[in-house]
Structure 1
Amino acid sequence: MASAVKTVQASSLVVFASPTFKATYTGLLKLFLDQFAGGTGLQDVVAVPLMLGAGPAHAMAPDLTLKPVLAELGGTCALPGLYLLDASFADDPLLAAYAERWGSVACALMALRA
């Protein structure tokens, strides 16, 4: 676990992904995020919240539940969260559209943080 935390803290960009569980991220992700100090644990990390779900009912979950936690841990959370359907996420055109739309913003943010 300590090695994974160090890897995240040394990264410029991290996608924090979780399946949707009871309209929020999983307990396993919470246990991992609990390893980071509040306010500074994700300092200098551009954090992207991504969640998978069975249907569109929880499409706002990445922005409403995961993004505030990442921000509280000191992550730069300027990009919108991404929600994909778990049955088709690998082929979902939203993923490519998201990367196309926000890739240059992510690069600019990482350059500012360096």
Structure 2
Amino acid sequence: MKKFKTLTRITTLAVIMLVSTAALNALNPPATMSLVQTEMVQKTLRKAVDFPKYTGEAGIVKVQLNIDENGRTIVERINGQPELRAHVIKKLENVIFDDVNLTGKTFIVKFDYRN
């Protein structure tokens, strides 16, 4: 009877640990998923934001943005040449993401407009 109680306790503890670990993983997706999302967002944005041919300026623009509940990009911070910043912001206004898993996440994207 003691062996049965001990076995039951061990099994119960194992199940609790398994459920706890699964719950933590659900709250914090694996880093590879975040990396995949980041790469997908960066690739999409780089396609959407082309080189500004109308300006003679060259440089790098770095953008920190968030994706809202409608899939739109919200620029939180941006740095670079003023004309290049304006160009990037204008282009980002037209980008909409369909993936609801991106909602509320912050991404940093670098646009390189050097010759």
TM-score computed with the length of structure 2 as normaliser: 0.25
Could you tell me the TM-score, scaled by structure 1's length?
A: 0.25
Larger strand percent: 2
Larger Rg: 2
